[in-house]
Structure 1
Amino acid sequence: MTRIAWVVLVPLAVLTLVGLVVLWPSGAPAATERSSAVEYDGVVLSVSEEACPPTVPDPAAQCGTVSVRIDTPEGSRDVEAPLSGNPGAPDLEAGDEVVVAAAETPDGFLYGVVDHQRGTGLVVLLAALAVALLVFGRWRGLSALVGLAITFVALFVFIVPAVIGGESPVLVALVGASFVTLSVLYLTHGVSLTTTVAVMGTMASLGLTAALSELAVGALRLTGVTDDISTAVATNYGVDTRGLLVASTIIGSVGVLDDVTVTQAATVAEVGRANPTYRFTELYGAGSRVGRSHIASVVNTIVLAYAGSSLPLLVLVVADNGSLTGAATTQLISQEVVRSAVATIGLIAAVPLTTALAALATRTAPTTTPTAHDDGRSGGPSDTDPTGPADDRPHPTTRREAREAREASGH
């Protein structure tokens, strides 16, 4: 099984590397339309509020003007900007660090406060995440942080620039997802047969997810254009929004698939170590029972994750339509249903695929093969058995030998 695993994984790794080279973005993407506004960092000096017009629905909205000191390449400058009171407009007070947009017009520059600066707060939040991972996860937490960094690099250095540069979103997503799977799983869980089984199960399920997503999007005639953002992506950058919809399903499935496949592979390996006389069918049955329980909880996670990411749009569609049945057939809702359903089918398929591979690997591999959560270490003393690790003691390999061993020990 080890030899078969590497025979499968090496070509996949080579194809992923070739895909990265061929699809790698060659330069900065160029939009067909760009805003003429320039953004500057600034600090609010004062706020002059006045009554909002009747057209502003929110009674707590801010209207009037705000004085801001902005930092430009020529130096600091004090400017005045209006407070529109529109939904989503920042609530300002003196001392706030903000982002100011400046647009040149025939009558001079117009300024507007578009958002708060959040750099410091985000750094603090990410630092808290890193500390929590390191304190509770220790070396595993450190490897998880490195894996998270690799994922962000794959997204913002390869996947997004390549899509904007005109490459097929589906191919880019498959190559990027394969790269993340191959690198992050081995980094986080160590180089072992269990991790290799998890990688194989993840890759097979990703291929199935991509195929089903293509079929579903085509059959339901979804375009991927559902709001101003997707319209701007298609208009300004010429991105294939239909392919982008399929790509989003593939990328969104990777994290959940990794969780399921690693759990299944590690569970079967541990059952095999604890019950050396178990055959393939018994290992597969034990692993499948764990997998069914895992799937029952993870499926709800997928649906809620997709629904939560587009909750404002869902509220708008249902409120405007007035009928839940009618809203469900709109392209916006159908798009989320497709992503949730396809990702769930791929997730369900990952359980029997990975469980079967893990059961086969456990029964054909040496019993001393470390599992994914052994951290790649073996041979140290056991925490529960002072005589040493369980793998250092001979295991009965057949039912007859197991019975003879029990008789010899007086049991």
Structure 2
Amino acid sequence: MALWPRDDAPTLDTTPEGSSYVEVTATDVDLLAESATGPALLAETDGGEAITVQVAPEHLEVIEPGDRIRVLTLPQAGGAAPYVFVDLVRGPPMALLAAVLGVLVLAVARLRGLGALAGLVVAVGGVLGFTVPALLTGGPALPVALVTASALMFVLLYLAHGVSIRTSTALLGTLGGLLATGVLAAWATGATHLNALSGEYALDLRAAAPEADLQGILLCGIVLAGLGVLNDVTITQVSAVWEIRALSPAATRRELFRGGMRIGRDHIASTVYTVAFAYLGAALPLVLLVAMSDRTLLDSLTSGEIAEEVVRTLVGSIGLVLAIPLTTAIAAALVPAPSAAPFPAATGSSTDDPDPAPTPAV
């Protein structure tokens, strides 16, 4: 509540006065109708009206007849209302992908999948409702990032995995990893003099929201970027310790920690390059441009946007590595005490087996 933005966030007007956005269907992209403003393509409105849409030459290479496109109408310019190409309409295929994901998650994960989808909606709403306005109005980046991530973890973990000691253990490990990631990100962005000015939209953002701290936004992005993978490793480590306890009811807590760390080491080895490949894939066009330059590898890695991606990868990986032993230690301390009696498995009771083996006679 103390960090909640009190001022209204700045808004960016993208629609000229008297104009509007409409969706039309491209009909002929091979015929370039040269006009005073450059090349154009032919399209048809939903009402069947044939129109000419002004478009940049580079977009003609990706538009095909039958594609739905979004255009801007400028009725105040001249006699006939011209149309200017804005973007392709991508909503329907994206909605289809989201629907397929939702169906698969519900079919495979069932109630937990439903909780995860609900948590995803809450997470997006939390970021748009709190984090974005707080950053745009000049809120302190590190507290905003940590509060956002912590609050979302409370909701996401309990919605997806239920209220239990196991979930609470994973939450403690996640919060510890978040704190380490946030502190390290704050130091790294300052020590490496990252200011986010080399980004594609940095100058536009500074002009539209002068109160926003670009370096702080970069810091907040580093914390939020590692949140999903951090949650994954903490849940996995807690589940591993609980399963080891189920298989070895008499094992000591030290033995549980050692067993969990054996699994954690494999997790570290796979997760580190998973994070690296995720950032590499997101920044691949930038990597291609850097690869064509005549600069040395060290100069490329320490300059501009490449340095931001490198620091983001290193900080996120360090946070993950620290979270695994921390979570494993907490899980080993909070798991039920050693017992000679069989420990109930976390996956369910023996009734889950449709055809249990008969008990041998004594």
TM-score by length of 2: 0.85
The corresponding residue for 1:265 is 238
Provide closer, same or farther for how the CA distance between residues 67 and 266 of structure 1 changes in structure 2, counting only shifts above 3 A: same
Across the two proteins, how many residue pairs are aligned to each other?
A: 352
The correspondence of residues 205-216 of structure 1 with structure 2, limited to 5 A, is 205-216=177-188
Of residues 93-102 and 209-218 in structure 1, the stretch that sits farther from structure 2 once superposed is: 93-102
The corresponding residue for 2:299 is 326
Q: 1:167 aligns with which of 139, 145, 148?
A: 139
1:143 to partner: Cα distance: 1.8
The corresponding residue for 2:264 is 291
* Alignment RMSD: 3.3
The corresponding residue for 2:25 is 44
Q: 1:97 aligns with which of 68, 89, 107?
A: 68
Gaps of 5+ in 1: 1-17, 54-62, 388-408
The corresponding residue for 2:308 is 335
| Structure 1 Cα separation of the partners of residues 291 and 313 of structure 2 | 19
The question of whether the paired residues in 2 share the 8 Å contact of 1:50 and 1:64 is answered with no
The question of whether the paired residues in 2 share the 8 Å contact of 1:151 and 1:180 is answered with yes
The question of whether the paired residues in 2 share the 8 Å contact of 1:90 and 1:114 is answered with no
| Structure 1 Cα separation of the partners of residues 129 and 253 of structure 2 | 43
The question of whether the paired residues in 2 share the 8 Å contact of 1:201 and 1:350 is answered with yes
| Structure 2 Cα separation of the partners of residues 227 and 100 of structure 1 | 27
The corresponding residue for 2:11 is 30
The question of whether the paired residues in 1 share the 8 Å contact of 2:246 and 2:344 is answered with no
Q: Does the alignment pair 1:356 with 2:329?
A: yes
Q: Does the alignment pair 1:243 with 2:216?
A: yes
The corresponding residue for 1:280 is 253
The corresponding residue for 2:290 is 317
Provide closer, same or farther for how the CA distance between residues 78 and 213 of structure 1 changes in structure 2, counting only shifts above 3 A: same
Of residues 267-276 and 109-118 in structure 1, the stretch that sits farther from structure 2 once superposed is: 109-118
The corresponding residue for 2:130 is 158
1:353 to partner: Cα distance: 0.4
1:181 to partner: Cα distance: 0.7
The corresponding residue for 1:57 is none
| Structure 2 Cα separation of the partners of residues 76 and 256 of structure 1 | 49
The question of whether the paired residues in 1 share the 8 Å contact of 2:29 and 2:63 is answered with no
Aligned residue type for 2:287: L
| Structure 1 Cα separation of the partners of residues 318 and 250 of structure 2 | 33
| Structure 2 Cα separation of the partners of residues 311 and 265 of structure 1 | 34
Provide closer, same or farther for how the CA distance between residues 233 and 90 of structure 1 changes in structure 2, counting only shifts above 3 A: farther
| Structure 1 Cα separation of the partners of residues 97 and 256 of structure 2 | 43
TM-score by length of 1: 0.76
Q: Does the alignment pair 1:231 with 2:203?
A: yes
The corresponding residue for 2:103 is 131
The question of whether the paired residues in 2 share the 8 Å contact of 1:98 and 1:113 is answered with yes
Aligned residue type for 1:383: D
1:24 to partner: Cα distance: 4.9
The question of whether the paired residues in 1 share the 8 Å contact of 2:10 and 2:208 is answered with no
Alpha-carbon displacement from aligned partner over 1:52-108 (angstroms, at most 9, x marks no partner): 99xxxxxxxxx842234558xxx997642233222x556334443211124577757
Provide closer, same or farther for how the CA distance between residues 182 and 287 of structure 1 changes in structure 2, counting only shifts above 3 A: same
* SS of the residue 1:23 aligns to: coil
* SS of the residue 1:191 aligns to: coil
Alpha-carbon displacement from aligned partner over 1:192-226 (angstroms, at most 9, x marks no partner): 11111100000011011010011111111111122
Q: Does the alignment pair 1:67 with 2:54?
A: no
Alpha-carbon displacement from aligned partner over 1:234-264 (angstroms, at most 9, x marks no partner): 2211221101111111001111111111111
1:36 to partner: Cα distance: 3.2
The corresponding residue for 2:274 is 301
* SS of the residue 2:57 aligns to: coil
Provide closer, same or farther for how the CA distance between residues 350 and 112 of structure 1 changes in structure 2, counting only shifts above 3 A: same
1:382 to partner: Cα distance: 5.2
Aligned residue type for 1:269: W
| Structure 1 Cα separation of the partners of residues 93 and 167 of structure 2 | 36
Of residues 316-325 and 296-305 in structure 1, the stretch that sits farther from structure 2 once superposed is: 316-325
The corresponding residue for 2:116 is 144
Provide closer, same or farther for how the CA distance between residues 205 and 80 of structure 1 changes in structure 2, counting only shifts above 3 A: same
| Structure 1 Cα separation of the partners of residues 344 and 132 of structure 2 | 37
| Structure 2 Cα separation of the partners of residues 119 and 131 of structure 1 | 18
| Structure 2 Cα separation of the partners of residues 369 and 280 of structure 1 | 14
| Structure 2 Cα separation of the partners of residues 177 and 83 of structure 1 | 42
The question of whether the paired residues in 1 share the 8 Å contact of 2:29 and 2:64 is answered with no
Alpha-carbon displacement from aligned partner over 1:135-172 (angstroms, at most 9, x marks no partner): 22222222222122222222233322332233233332
Provide closer, same or farther for how the CA distance between residues 34 and 287 of structure 1 changes in structure 2, counting only shifts above 3 A: same
Aligned residue type for 1:42: E
The question of whether the paired residues in 1 share the 8 Å contact of 2:253 and 2:332 is answered with yes
Of residues 124-133 and 198-207 in structure 1, the stretch that sits farther from structure 2 once superposed is: 124-133
The question of whether the paired residues in 2 share the 8 Å contact of 1:268 and 1:355 is answered with yes
1:26 to partner: Cα distance: 5.6
Provide closer, same or farther for how the CA distance between residues 368 and 107 of structure 1 changes in structure 2, counting only shifts above 3 A: farther
Aligned residue type for 1:334: A
The correspondence of residues 372-411 of structure 1 with structure 2, limited to 5 A, is 374=347, 381=351, 383=353
* SS of the residue 1:67 aligns to: strand
1:110 to partner: Cα distance: 5.4
1:342 to partner: Cα distance: 0.5
The question of whether the paired residues in 1 share the 8 Å contact of 2:32 and 2:41 is answered with no
